[in-house]
Chain A
């Protein structure tokens, strides 16, 4: 067997591919077939089962804002997942109420996904509705005006372009809104 792998060209290729495909299939194709929550949009109307709410598809303006978020590379520094860690639920929380954890069914309409790997800035998975348009305008123009010590780059051209600015803020306000969990004091309402 080993000698064949060592001297036989075709055998080595076949074995390398078979080994690869066992793990490849079982970890990429099989999981979404087994766990249906990956593809079913979040919907819950029973408070006993956790926060109620419903995931809605993005509107055209929100999709445009999302494309700007992707273009400017916001996702390199901001993750979008409240993990199953106590600290995450507190950091994503608001006014003393802990945020629910992120679940796959909240991200069904996301493409490209924006989960992220690096948290240079705070997590944005529950940022929607927390800050109003004026806050975002000032913050994009120069983050250090509102948050001294921040290392986020300024994005003055976003503020200058009314259409893009409206779109990106519209997108940010959708983040984490599928689950109704927060006290009723949103800035935008």
Chain B
């Protein structure tokens, strides 16, 4: 049986050298440029709502700019405007390369990018007007949900057709993860945005939490790991430690993640046995996480010195560390005893930001830093600015995460002592929110330097005669 593989695959780099297709990458470019613009714009909103915790009357007389309107805009803008769009753009870049063929349809891809921008702009208008479905992560009104489904089908068809026409039989890890993302997202999104409308109360909440949990677990996690599995070996020019270990990570993720939605309702009005199932499976999440993280660390063995002056690799490996931490927090938080302390506190945004910003946005930023100079056939505008963007985001992120975890525990312990009036637990957290605001400023500076660096690279590529000829 082992011979099969050597027969079906044109083995070794020598066999494929010189036969690369001419990639256009137009879709990838458009997705990334618009996602970076949203990263910057929504970053302003993020800092504004952090400021509202410190100065609660800020913009308080403008109905369209209250906390309740800006928070969904921040969440949806970052998730769909920035992160998912950037992930899709990078997918359009790496799938054709891993398959050794051109993207199935560049025209369809550009149409998808255009539709995605329509969705994001529509979301801004709707959320500021307060047209909100009232379900977390599913705030967008129904017409926009339908457009998201259409865009996702366009994206999925394009990627699947590319994979189906691939040159090599055996698929690299990133391809499985991307296929998984496309398939699971379809069902997770339909559950969270359409099926919920036919349910009420606890039943609806259960569907809603299945969606919320898996929006992170089966959308951003697999596509983020696809990026990490691609860009860590590429950026360090080191082969991945183990292809087979990555399969354990993938298939256990496929099986375990979807069970855990009810852990958002621990101690709440939902059946105890369902909570127990969610807890058991939350603990099992350690398996896919540690399989993946071990693979990345083992890849870097003997290569850590590269972190010194490799900006994408800095983002990637700190993203891996944050991924490990956030996926340790998650299972621990789902234990009933820990949950009784930290649930519903400021620990929650700390945890959520570490997953979405610390891990998955870091992967996407690294991918952008890696991809943009290559597709525009130029150099990065400034390596040192890239370094600055890393340290701004890193320090801002650490300030944000650590103060909110500690603050969250502190808050939870106070809540569990009913002798303390609620308002005193609010006042006690004010120093935490001040640190959060200044950490937010640091992170925003990181976003600005990242966005400026990329935009200057793109604009500089046009004026560079040497690359224009190439």
A139 CB → nearest B CB, Å:
12
The residue on B at minimum CB distance from A72 is B68
| A23 in contact with B281 (CB, 8 Å) | yes
The residue from A26, A37, A90 contacting B259, defined by CB atoms under 8 A apart: A26
A93 CB → nearest B CB, Å:
8
* A residues in contact with B457, CB < 8 Å: none
B399 CB → nearest A CB, Å:
20
| A93-112 residues at the B interface, CB under 8 angstroms | 101-104, 106-112
| A149 in contact with B423 (CB, 8 Å) | yes
| A72 in contact with B205 (CB, 8 Å) | no
| A143-167 residues at the B interface, CB under 8 angstroms | 143-144, 147-157
| B391-447 residues at the A interface, CB under 8 angstroms | 415-418, 422-424, 426-427
The residue on A at minimum CB distance from B1 is A3
| B423 in contact with A24 (CB, 8 Å) | no
Q: Tell me whether B151 is interfacial, beta carbon within 8 Å.
A: no
Looking at B56-64, B294-302, B313-321, the stretch in contact with chain A turns out to be B56-64
| A23 in contact with B258 (CB, 8 Å) | yes
| A1-52 residues at the B interface, CB under 8 angstroms | 2-3, 5-7, 9, 12-13, 15-17, 19-24, 26-28, 31-32, 34-35, 37-39
In the bound complex, CA of A175 to CA of B274 (Å): 25
Q: Tell me whether B357 is interfacial, beta carbon within 8 Å.
A: no
Q: Tell me whether A119 is interfacial, beta carbon within 8 Å.
A: yes
| B76-135 residues at the A interface, CB under 8 angstroms | 130-135
| A71 in contact with B132 (CB, 8 Å) | yes
| A22 in contact with B171 (CB, 8 Å) | no
Asked if A113 meets B202 with Cβ closer than 8 Å, knowing A73-B66, A83-B268, the reply is: yes
The residue from A26, A107, A119 contacting B344, defined by CB atoms under 8 A apart: A119
What mask results when residues 62 to 76 of chain B are scored 1 for a CB within 8 Å of chain A, else 0? 010011110110000
| B255 in contact with A19 (CB, 8 Å) | yes
Asked if A112 meets B67 with Cβ closer than 8 Å, knowing A73-B72, A154-B61, the reply is: no
Q: Tell me whether B210 is interfacial, beta carbon within 8 Å.
A: yes
| A153 in contact with B57 (CB, 8 Å) | yes
In the bound complex, CA of A33 to CA of B68 (Å): 35
In the bound complex, CA of A28 to CA of B277 (Å): 12
In the bound complex, CA of A72 to CA of B268 (Å): 24
Q: Tell me whether A173 is interfacial, beta carbon within 8 Å.
A: no
* A residues in contact with B271, CB < 8 Å: 31, 34-35, 37-38, 104
Interface centre among B56, B257, B345 (most CB of A within 10 A): B56
Asked if A102 meets B269 with Cβ closer than 8 Å, knowing A20-B218, A112-B134, A150-B56, the reply is: yes
* B residues in contact with A19, CB < 8 Å: 251, 254-255
* B residues in contact with A70, CB < 8 Å: 132-134
| A107 in contact with B265 (CB, 8 Å) | no
The residue from A12, A38, A147 contacting B171, defined by CB atoms under 8 A apart: A12
B379 CB → nearest A CB, Å:
37
| B133 in contact with A117 (CB, 8 Å) | no
A83 CB → nearest B CB, Å:
4
* A residues in contact with B258, CB < 8 Å: 20, 23-24, 27
A54 CB → nearest B CB, Å:
16
* B residues in contact with A84, CB < 8 Å: 267-268
| B201 in contact with A111 (CB, 8 Å) | yes
* A residues in contact with B202, CB < 8 Å: 38, 104, 107, 113
Q: Tell me whether B35 is interfacial, beta carbon within 8 Å.
A: no
In the bound complex, CA of A22 to CA of B256 (Å): 10
In the bound complex, CA of A140 to CA of B287 (Å): 48
Asked if A73 meets B68 with Cβ closer than 8 Å, knowing A13-B179, A151-B56, the reply is: yes
11 chain-A/chain-B pairs, Cβ below 8 angstroms: A16-B179, A23-B256, A24-B191, A32-B199, A35-B274, A112-B133, A112-B204, A120-B426, A142-B57, A149-B424, A155-B66
Q: A24-B191, A112-B134, A149-B427 are in contact. List 4 more A-B contacts (CB 8 A).
A: A2-B244, A76-B68, A115-B265, A151-B52
Top 3 nearest A-B pairs (CB, nearest first) are A73-B68, A112-B134, A107-B201
